[in-house]
């Protein structure tokens, strides 16, 4: 099988890597955007893709959602429905970058790597893993309230970042993300079942946290991204609309993050012993911080 994780650079015409420092300027976040992220734990409405790029990725997504796709074995996880309810479908998969050229190259989108580096404190950015999340029209399921890092404690320290990119317009009707502003300051909470009870996290909150639990919807046009802190409490409600809600997620961490376990980190990836740096074929350096 052709595994694209061996290629650590752009391989298509989907994006153009800047050749000199001045060409990076157009991708930089403003000081106001960075300040907002530091205070509230998220930053939304960041342009990532043009419509033609969205359409190419949608075509690739349609092909690899088929469990019989010849390269399906390269996924670290593949759930046609992570929910146990056939009337509440949540397609969820990890590892698309290994399979199709477009989902490979989104890792090296200059707009993504520049924003990620800035939001991590102007650090070098290393890839953790990708995800696909798809809620079909009329019967798309929920993603329960959770913190991403509660599922990632096998790596540390906490210097991670999540980027969610819509391939459809995301609205309150079709199951857009919701954030709980400033919840990144609550510390690490126990983790619920991701596709289970929407309110499962509530049992782990203090009375003060419950009082501060005031989610805000993150509606986005297709091709736009929202970034959030690894301890940000977030989730999304069901999709009962006539429109699909498809998205991909890129998870990264600051270069120098280490393994916290001798166990397998992702299915199909050789273990990285506890205390060793996260690096190698499956965890490529996306951006060194150098703009030349």
- Beta-sheet pairing, 224-228 with 91-94: unpaired
Mean pLDDT by groups of 10 residues along the chain of 292 residues: 94 96 96 98 98 98 96 96 80 97 98 98 98 92 94 97 98 97 97 84 95 98 98 95 96 98 97 98 95 70
The CA–CA distances, whole Å, from 140 to 125, 135, 193, 222, 243 equal 33, 4, 16, 18, 10
Domain regions of the chain by residue span: 30-280
* Ramachandran class of 203: left when φ > 0, alpha when ψ lies in -120 to 50, beta otherwise: alpha
Local structure of residue 154 (DSSP, 8 states): T
Residue with tokens 């317009």: 169
Distance, in Å, from the CA atom of 250 to the CA atom of 162, rounded to the nearest integer, reads 6
Backbone angles phi, psi at 260, to 5 degrees: -110, 10
**CB distance 248 to 97 below 8 Å:** no
Maximum pairwise Cα distance, the chain: 52
Distance, in Å, from the CA atom of 231 to the CA atom of 247, rounded to the nearest integer, reads 20
Which pTM does this prediction carry? 0.96
Residue with tokens 């419509």: 51
Which strand (E) or helix (H) includes residue 210? helix 207-212
pLDDT in the model for residue 230: 98
State in words which class domain 30-280 has. mainly beta
Local structure of residue 265 (DSSP, 8 states): S
pLDDT in the model for residue 193: 82
Alpha-carbon torsion angle 89, 137, 51, 105, nearest 10: 10
Distance, in Å, from the CA atom of 158 to the CA atom of 260, rounded to the nearest integer, reads 11
Cβ count within 10 A of residue 16: 9
Question: Could you tell me which residues are beta bridge partners of residue 78?
Answer: 93
pLDDT in the model for residue 265: 97
pLDDT in the model for residue 1: 66
């Amino acid at each position: 099988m052709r595994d694209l994780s061996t290629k650590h650079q752009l391989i298509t015409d989907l994006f153009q890597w800047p050749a000199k420092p001045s060409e990076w300027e157009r991708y930089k976040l403003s000081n106001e955007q960075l300040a907002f992220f530091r205070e509230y734990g998220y930053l939304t409405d960041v342009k990532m893709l043009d419509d033609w790029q969205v359409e190419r990725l949608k075509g690739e997504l349609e092909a690899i959602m088929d469990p019989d796709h010849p390269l399906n074995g390269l996924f670290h996880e593949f759930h046609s429905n992570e929910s146990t309810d056939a009337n509440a479908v949540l397609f969820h998969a990890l590892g698309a970058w290994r399979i199709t050229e477009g989902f490979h190259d989104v890792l090296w989108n200059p707009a993504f790597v520049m924003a990620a580096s800035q939001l991590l404190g102007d650090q070098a950015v290393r890839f953790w893993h990708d995800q696909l999340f798809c809620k079909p029209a009329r019967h798309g399921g929920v993603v329960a309230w959770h913190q991403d890092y509660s599922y990632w404690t096998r790596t540390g320290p906490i210097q991670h970042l999540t980027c969610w990119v819509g391939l459809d317009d995301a609205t309150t009707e079709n199951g857009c993300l919701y954030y709980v502003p400033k919840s990144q300051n609550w510390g690490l909470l126990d983790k619920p079942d991701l596709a289970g009870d929407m309110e499962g996290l509530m049992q782990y909150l203090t009375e003060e946290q419950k009082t501060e639990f005031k989610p805000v919807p993150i509606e986005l046009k297709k091709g736009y991204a929202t970034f959030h802190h690894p301890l940000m409490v977030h989730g999304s409600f069901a999709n009962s609309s006539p429109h699909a809600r498809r998205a991909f997620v890129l998870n990264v961490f600051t270069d120098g993050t280490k393994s916290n376990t001798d166990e397998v980190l992702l299915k199909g990836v050789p273990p990285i012993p506890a205390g060793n740096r996260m690096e190698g074929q499956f965890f490529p350096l996306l951006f060194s911080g150098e703009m030349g």
